[in-house]
Structure 1
Amino acid sequence: MSETMNDYAGLFRLDGKRAALIGAGGIGREAALALAAHGAKVTCLDKDPATARATAAEAGGEAQDLDVTDAAAVEQAAAGLGEVDILVLTAATNVRKRILDYTPAEFDRVVNLNLKATFTVLQAFGRRMVRRGQGSIVVFSSVRGYVVEPGQAVYAATKAGAIQLVKTAAAEFGEQGVRVNAIAPGVVETPLTNQIKANPEWYDAYATKGALGRWAKPAELAGAVVYLASDAATYVTGTTLMVDGGWTAVDGRYTPPT
């Protein structure tokens, strides 16, 4: 890209870029489609082979099985994919329980996927990007990395931890030309939030927490992924982009009578 940055029409184009997307359902599916629409060649990786194949077919890319909690498998996937320009990590899980009710097994399950696997992915893919001297990594965090509620202790801790891992990776990889950023969604209609959607009172309460007064669709996160992956964000690293409908900007929504 030239110093004048005068190719604004192509600022978000990803032609010739190779993208690896880990977690191919829900938000991941939309991210894959958006990356492909902007010219990237996308490889979809997911623990569920059917999910990986379905998203890859829609995005015109390739599919691979990957259990991201298996460090050796992540290393093998990174090595097998070779030169990756863009890495997007959306895989996550949650167990909604209060601290006093959490079991050690549940704690380990959430931490191993949401935090430990994030570290493993940053290590495996980041190492290769640093060697090449280029690349963009996008990790999905959450508003829960900033604000909490009862029953979200472990999930929130892992999402806050992911933000700190992103900041540190940005600091360590930056001089080698690798950018690392996070996206923090608010409430999004995905399988992970089925428990909330099944309860109308709970669903409506979440909808009114943000400034827009509604939930997000997975497709509404895709633009943030493309932005952070593209030349539009060449001077953006170590940041967390809030895509939360104003959730963290307001303390609940109330429209007084006039």
Structure 2
Amino acid sequence: MTGNATHQPATAPGDLFRLDGRRAVVIGAGSGIGAASARALAAHGAGVVCADRDLAAATATAAATGGEPYLLDILDRAAVRAAPAELGDVDVLVFTPATNIRRRLVDYADEEFDHIVDLNLRAPFDLVRAFGRPMAERGRGSIIGVSSIRAVTVEPAQGIYSATKAGLVALLNTAAAELGPLGVRVNTLAPGVVESPMTTWAQSDPVRYDAYAAKTVLGRWAQPEEMAGAVVFLASDAASYVTAGVLTVDGGWTAVDGRFAPPE
């Protein structure tokens, strides 16, 4: 891959967030942040491919967005390698899938470690490699991966998850450095606590749910739709000079040191 980054054309202020004529692939579009992102990208004019290992869920999101469903298990390396050719030119790639096993480090089984690393870090590497190359060859594209505030703030029993999310930030920053001169922007979204299928274990525990809500400045959990605006921004011309960025959307969680309010 050779060449220089293409000059970013001027965009009218009212059109900065429009994605008309662009093709976006959202992996994990069957639920949660992925589904919300697919809906938001479509609402801003993108043609959206709703990819998920659950084809029925992907089909439901596609029906709601006017997009197209696509069956993809990102743990299947051959399927990931084949996807760009099957899908054609892709302008925006968003990927959200991740997993977690809550266990202290000394208690992890080897296969549990491998499973988390495979889905949270190896699979994103495969996606960046597969989709980044054709984007670079065309001289344009935006890749957005979903990390977590756990990349920078750890919690007991979430160590491997945190390690993979920190690794994902480093991976995507490296991709940004390598693909930026070829016209491809790469950024990371770092959510806080979001009411999604991945966090049902905490949502079902009133004590933990309330404690997590109280840790945010806003005093509540986020909805998946509240992550979608950040995805649209990073995909659009509004973020034409944003790459190697980590956009934290956490209700202020990582900014606040404890909950002590000093007397006035």
- Settle same-fold status: TM greater than 0.5: yes
Q: Deviations over 1:107-161 (max 9, x none)?
A: 1111100000010000000011011000000000000000101001100000000
Partner of 2:105: 99
Asked whether the equivalents of residues 84 and 130 of structure 2 are also in contact (C-alpha less than 8 Å), the reply is yes
Pair 1:204–1:2, CA change in 2 (3 A): same
Does residue 175 of structure 1 match 2:178? no
Match of 1:74 among 76, 80, 85: 80
Displaced runs of 4+ in structure 1, greater than 3 A? 1-6, 254-258
| 1:17-61 CA distance string (max 9 Å, x none) | 000000011110100000000000000110111111111111110
1:204-229 per-position Cα deviation (integer Å, ceiling 9, x unaligned): 11111121111000000000000000
Taking structure 1 as reference, are residues 222 and 130 closer, same or farther at Cα in structure 2, changes over 3 Å only? same
Structure 1 pair 121–253 and aligned structure 2 pair: CA distance change class (3 A):
same
**Residue 254 of structure 2 aligns to a residue in which SS?**
coil
Using a 3 Å threshold, how does the CA distance of structure 1 residues 207 and 254 change in structure 2: closer, same or farther? Answer: farther
In 1, distance between residues paired with 2:184 and 2:71?
26
Task: Give the distance between the partners of 2:8 and 2:241, measured in 1 at CA.
Answer: 12
**1:65, distance to aligned residue in structure 2 (A):** 0.8
The answer as to 2:159 corresponding to 1:153 is yes
2:22 is the alignment partner of 1:12:
no
Alpha-carbon displacement from aligned partner over 1:49-100 (angstroms, at most 9, x marks no partner): 1111111111110011111011110011111111000000011111111111
- For residue 213 of structure 1, what is the aligned residue in structure 2? 219
Distance verdict in 2 for CA 1:3–1:105, change over 3 Å: closer
**Kept after mapping to 2: 8 A contact 1:19/1:41:** yes
- Of residues 85, 102, 125 in structure 1, which corresponds to 2:91? 85
Residue of structure 2 aligned with 1:125, choices 121, 131, 135: 131
1:236 maps to 2:242 = yes
| 1:112 equivalenced with 2:112 (yes/no) | no
Give the distance between the partners of 1:253 and 1:222, measured in 2 at CA. Answer: 28
Structure 1 stretches lacking a partner, 5+ long: none
Identity %: 59
Would the aligned equivalents of 1:208 and 1:252 in 2 still touch at CA under 8 Å? Answer: no
C-alpha distance in 2 between matches for 1:247 and 1:79 = 40
Q: What TM-score results when the alignment is normalised by the length of structure 2?
A: 0.94
Instruction: Give 1:4 shift.
Output: 8.5
Q: Report the TM-score when normalising by structure 1.
A: 0.97
Report the Cα distance in structure 2 between the residues aligned to 1:35 and 1:64, rounded to whole angstroms: 16
Aligned to 2:193: 187
- The alignment partner of 1:228 has SS state of helix
